[in-house]
Amino acid sequence: MTQIEVVDDPLDDVTLVTRARDGDLRAYEVLVLRYQGQMYRFAARMLANRADAEDVVQEVFLTAWRKLEQLQEGAAFVSWLYRTTTNRCLNVIRTRKPQAEVEPEEHEATGGLPERSIEVSEQMAALERALPTLTKEQRACWLLREVDGLSYEEIAKTIGCSVTVVRGRIARARVQLAEVMAPWR
Amino acid sequence: MAMNDTDESYLLPCGRDVEAVWDRLDEIDAHELECPHCLGARESLRALRAATEEMANDTEQPSHALFGRIMSAVRADMGRGAMLALSDDDTGPVQVSERAIAAVLRFAADSVIGVRARHCEVVARLDVVFVSMRIAVEYGKFNVGVVDVVRDRVTAAASARVGVRVNRLDITVEDLYDL
Amino acid sequence: MTAEHVITKPVVAAVAAHAASGVVGVVRVEPGVTGLVGSVARAARQRLKGLDPAPTEGVRVRMDGDVRMEIDIVTSAHDQAAAVARAVQRAVARAVTAATGLPVAAVTVCVLDIELS
């Protein structure tokens, strides 16, 4: 006797964006839940500060809501999120006071946020500590490629520069990170 | 030390390019076997690669409160929207948000297998309720009978869940989707 | 002997909101959109302290000669929105009259959202 399982069919981005454009809040909630984690992790690694990262993500999703009309196709939604989140992070860093090129967080909660519930390995902690030693452009390119898996073309569009420059930045970032984490000289 | 983007390729003292070492991290050639610079670089790059993979697989989420803050801001931005007047008796008028009704009807259309509601608009003009709906249907599952099922479910939901009779319901099949 | 009672609007609003939230099918009494951010934060803080949030923002009261009120609610899709709204009208009118001795001329109910799950 076959078992029939009724499973919730996750809706595609195009459908969700179309409905959200109509004012369907529930559809937008799904989009937020689907992508807030990715954007948050990216922002947290760019800014080395979880509270700031949450603020950026909040602004990004509010702006996205207001700009839904302007998005051509649902498929562009994620790209738009990455572009906006990246640029917002770059701006935050640009307008920070110079001496507060922030020390990466230790294990204390910042801005009232809870500590990570999952322990981070020493090697990943070392990588997190190494990231702020990159320039903000190198960090953005490296994260988008190596952690978020965007293509060189997508990164170039996101940041607004050529693919060649993106490659160069990622190569430099790799050298820098490897050296900081495990110096070979 | 931070290198800027206009630097030349980074060359190890033995002349090899670090980027080349990275590209060939899982193979090794005769030179690399002997060369302390290359071996050192390979070890560092391996550590970087492992840490990167861990970071890529990390699923840390923001605080629970963030979602609430985002949706509150979105709701505040939205305003009330148009209201549909249901009835006005001794105790006073009852109104229902047209957007809320549209959400209920969309949900009803979604319940039909092979259908995804895309656009739903509810408009009331002088006690007459118009519903205009655009749906996407699953490629391969679609036949004309499906639209009738959608029609039935939508009118039933309007009556049972809201308490409204739909005077006119236009359904357009505007797209195909693939599972 | 006649006695004069002065009932303030916030009291009337509180009674109404409380009566409305007790009606089957009412998910919550909505705070007004303008007060949203502040009241959500306050509600969150009060919930943390174990207190019920003051649900009066979604109720608008007019008292000039007679009592009229407007109340915003969110209903559950399990119940018919129109029926819930009318039940809210009756419950609110009853509660306000019982608490204040004043007759209620009209209760306008606006269903702002219908929660689907």
pLDDT of residue B160: 93
List, in order, residues 6 or more apart from B4 with CB less than 8 Å away.
Answer: A135, A172
Sort A125 into a burial class: Cβ within 10 Å, 0-12 / 13-18 / 19+: middle
Considering the domain architecture, whether residues A17 and A37 belong to the same structural domain is answered as yes
Q: Where are the alpha helices (DSSP H) in C4-70?
A: 9-21, 36-48
CATH number of domain containing A78 = 1.10.1740.10
- Which chain A residues have a beta carbon less than 8 Å from that of B2? 133-135, 138, 176
What is the crossing angle of helices A122-130 and B36-57, to 10°?
A: 100
Instruction: Please report whether residue A167 resides in a domain.
Output: yes
Considering the domain architecture, whether residues A101 and A121 belong to the same structural domain is answered as no
In angstroms, rounded to a whole number, what is the distance separating the alpha carbons of residues A167 and A142?
9
Instruction: Please report whether residue A175 resides in a domain.
Output: yes
Strands B168-177 and C26-29: unpaired
List, in order, residues 6 or more apart from A8 with CB less than 8 Å away.
Answer: none
CATH number of domain containing A151 = 1.10.10.10
User: How open is the CA angle B28-B31-B35, to the nearest 5 degrees?
Assistant: 100
Considering the domain architecture, whether residues A18 and A92 belong to the same structural domain is answered as yes
Considering the domain architecture, whether residues A36 and A121 belong to the same structural domain is answered as no
The last residue of one of the domains, among A52, A74, A105, is: A105
Instruction: Please report whether residue A169 resides in a domain.
Output: yes
In angstroms, rounded to a whole number, what is the distance separating the alpha carbons of residues A145 and B156?
50
Considering the domain architecture, whether residues A68 and A153 belong to the same structural domain is answered as no
Instruction: Summarize the confidence of residues A55-76 as an average pLDDT.
Output: 85
Query: Do residues C74 and C28 touch, judged by C-beta distance below 8 A?
Result: yes
The least confident of A102-116, B34-48, C80-94 is A102-116
DSSP state of A110: S
Instruction: Please report whether residue A2 resides in a domain.
Output: no
The last residue of one of the domains, among A63, A85, A105, is: A105
Considering the domain architecture, whether residues A16 and A92 belong to the same structural domain is answered as yes
pLDDT digits (tens, 9 = 90+) for B27-83: 888 888 888 888 888 889 999 999 999 999 999 999 999 999 999 889 878 877 888
DSSP state of B17: B
Q: Which positions 90-129 of A are in contact with B (Cβ < 8 Å)? A: 113-114, 116, 118, 121, 123-124, 126-128
Residue C25, phi-psi category: left (phi > 0), alpha (psi -120 to 50), beta (remainder): left
Considering the domain architecture, whether residues A34 and A101 belong to the same structural domain is answered as yes
Q: Report how many domains make up chain A.
A: 2
* Least CB–CB distance from B66: residue in A57, A128, A184: A57
Domain layout of chain B by residue ranges: 18-57, 80-177
- Give the torsion through C-alpha atoms of B33, B35, B38, B41, to 10 deg: 100
* % pLDDT > 70, chain C: 69
Instruction: Please report whether residue A32 resides in a domain.
Output: yes
pLDDT of residue A72: 66
* % pLDDT > 70, chain A: 80
**C-alpha separations of B173 from A118, A148, B47, B147 in Å:** 47, 36, 54, 8
Q: What is the average pLDDT value for chain A, to the nearest integer?
A: 84
The structural architecture, per CATH, of the domain B80-177 is 2-Layer Sandwich (3.30)
Q: What is the average pLDDT value for chain C, to the nearest integer?
A: 75
Instruction: Please report whether residue A149 resides in a domain.
Output: yes
What is the residue range of A164's domain?
A: 116-185
Considering the domain architecture, whether residues A88 and A55 belong to the same structural domain is answered as yes
pLDDT of residue C45: 47
Q: Which residue of A has its CA nearest to B76?
A: A62
More confident of the two residues A184 and C76: C76
SS3 A152: helix
pLDDT digits (tens, 9 = 90+) for A1-54: 454 444 456 788 888 888 888 888 889 999 999 999 999 999 999 999 999 999
pLDDT of residue A42: 98
Token pair, residue A48, equals: 């080395």
Which domains does chain C show, CATH number per domain? 9-115 (3.30.70.1350)
More confident of the two residues A147 and C48: A147
Instruction: Please report whether residue A1 resides in a domain.
Output: no
* Whether residue C53 has pLDDT greater than 60: no
Q: What is the 3-state secondary structure (H, E, C) of B104-153?
A: HHHHHHHCCCCEEEEEEEEEEECCEEEEEEEEEEECCCCCHHHHHHHHHH
Instruction: Summarize the confidence of residues B76-102 as an average pLDDT.
Output: 84
Considering the domain architecture, whether residues A94 and A136 belong to the same structural domain is answered as no
Token pair, residue B147, equals: 């639209």
Q: Where are the alpha helices (DSSP H) in A95-121?
A: none
Q: Which positions 12-71 of B are in contact with A (Cβ < 8 Å)? A: 18-19, 22, 37, 40-41, 43-45, 47-48, 50-52, 54-56, 58-63, 66-67, 69-71
Q: Which of B44, B49, B134, B135 to mutate to test the interface with A (most CBs of A within 10 A)?
A: B44
* Whether residue C40 has pLDDT greater than 60: no
pLDDT digits (tens, 9 = 90+) for B104-161: 999 999 999 999 998 899 988 766 789 999 999 998 878 889 999 999 999 999 999 9
Considering the domain architecture, whether residues A156 and A98 belong to the same structural domain is answered as no
In angstroms, rounded to a whole number, what is the distance separating the alpha carbons of residues B85 and B93?
7
* Whether residue B2 has pLDDT greater than 50: no
pLDDT of residue C5: 57
Instruction: Please report whether residue A14 resides in a domain.
Output: yes
In angstroms, rounded to a whole number, what is the distance separating the alpha carbons of residues A165 and B6?
9
Instruction: Summarize the confidence of residues A135-145 as an average pLDDT.
Output: 97
Taking the complete model, does pTM exceed 0.90, yes or no?
A: no
Radius of gyration of chain C (CA): 15
Amino acid at A33: L
Considering the domain architecture, whether residues A97 and A35 belong to the same structural domain is answered as yes
Considering the domain architecture, whether residues A76 and A163 belong to the same structural domain is answered as no
